Amino acid sequence: MSVIATKKLGAVGVEVLDVGTDRLLNDPEVPEACMEALEEHGVLLFRGLHADDATQVAFSRRLGEPARFRGYANPEVMEISFDPGNPNAEYFASNDYWHIDGAMDEIPAKASLLSARVTASKGGETEFASTYAAYDTLSDEEKERYADLRVAHTFEAVQRLNYPDPTPKQLAQWAKRPPREHPLVWVHRSGRRSLVFGATASHIVGMPVEEGRALLADVERRATAPDRVLRHSWTEGDMVMWDNRGLVHRACPFDRSEPRRMHRSTLVGDEPIE
Ligand code: OGA
Ligand code: MN
C-alpha cells in the first residue's frame, strides 16, 4: 500500500487525501512519497491544509532546498498579490500566461508550493498542463523535426504581453535579465521528454521570427487545450504543489483590486534544461 492516499483530479494531478500538517512535518515516509507522486502526476492538492508559512517552509525543506526571495518578511515565502506594497506586484500580471517558474534561470525550479491565503470572490483559479504529455502526443514526424530546435527565452517576451508599448526605462529594466536559450525538447535525467515553451519563449533560434512564433503558439495551444488542463478553484487554506519540470501553469483572471494573496515556496532545481 502506498504511504499516501490519492485521488485523480483530471488531466493531471491528484488530491492527497490523508496528509495534514502533522504528517507533512513528521512522517518520515511522506516527503519521498510526495516526490514520487509528483513525478507521476505533476500536481498534488492538499485541500484545506491551512499550513502557515513556518509549516510550508519546514515541509519544503524536507523535500529539498527552498529558494530565497528578496523583499519579503520571510525570504523563503514569496507573497503573490497585487498589493502595491508587494515588491514584485508589477510582474505578477505575467502569471496570467502559461509559464514555467524560473525559465529564465540557469536551472529552473524543481517544484513550487502555493497556499491560498486570501481568495478572489470570482476567478483567480490556477491552471496546469503537462509538458510531458505535450511531447508524448506529438507525431513521430514532429518529434524528429523538433529534436534539434532551440528556443530563445527573454524577459522582454513575457513583459510585452502586459506592456505592449514599453517605455525606454522599462526596456532597459527588462534587458538586465540576460536572455536564455533552451532546447524545445527537454530530455530529462529520468529519460522522459517534455516540451519547453510558455511566456518567456520569444522565438526559435535560426528560424524566421514569425515562423518560430507560430510554431511555439501551436505547441502551446495543443498542450493547453481545455481537455489537457487541470483548473484548481481555490478555497482558503488549500495548498497545491506542482512539478515545475514537467508542467506549465497560469493564473486565471480576477478583479485585481481584490486582495487575493497566495504564499509560494519554491524548491531550487538541480536539473538544467538540456
Ligand atoms: C506562481 C504562479 C499563479 C497564481 O506563483 O508561480 O504562477 O494563480 N501563481 O497565483
Ligand atoms: Mn508561476
| Ligand 1 pocket member 101 (CB < 6 A) | yes
Residue 46 is placed in which grid cell? 492538499
Q: What is the pLDDT of residue 1?
A: 60
Query: Could you list which residues have their CB under 5 Å from ion ligand 2?
Result: 101
Q: Which ligand 1 atom is nearest residue 260's CA?
A: 10
Q: What is the pLDDT of residue 260?
A: 97
Q: What is the pLDDT of residue 218?
A: 97
Amino acid identity at 18: D
- For residues 2 and 79, give the distance between their C-alpha atoms in angstroms, rounded to a whole number: 33
* Contact present, 119 and 215 (Cβ < 8 Å): no
CA-to-CA separations, 50 to 14, 80, 145, 202, in angstroms, rounded:
18, 17, 46, 38
| Ligand 1 pocket member 130 (CB < 6 A) | no
| Ligand 1 pocket member 114 (CB < 6 A) | yes
Q: What is the pLDDT of residue 254?
A: 97
E strand intervals along the chain:
6-8, 14-16, 43-46, 78-80, 111-118, 126-130, 150-153, 180-183, 185-187, 193-195, 201-204, 229-232, 239-243, 247-251, 261-267
| CA 172 to chain centroid | 26
* Contact present, 112 and 245 (Cβ < 8 Å): no
Q: What is the pLDDT of residue 124?
A: 98
All residue ranges of the chain with pLDDT < 50 are none
Residue-wise pLDDT for 124-178, tens only, equals 999 999 999 999 999 999 999 999 999 999 999 999 998 999 999 999 999 999 9
Nearest CA to ligand 1 atom 7: 95
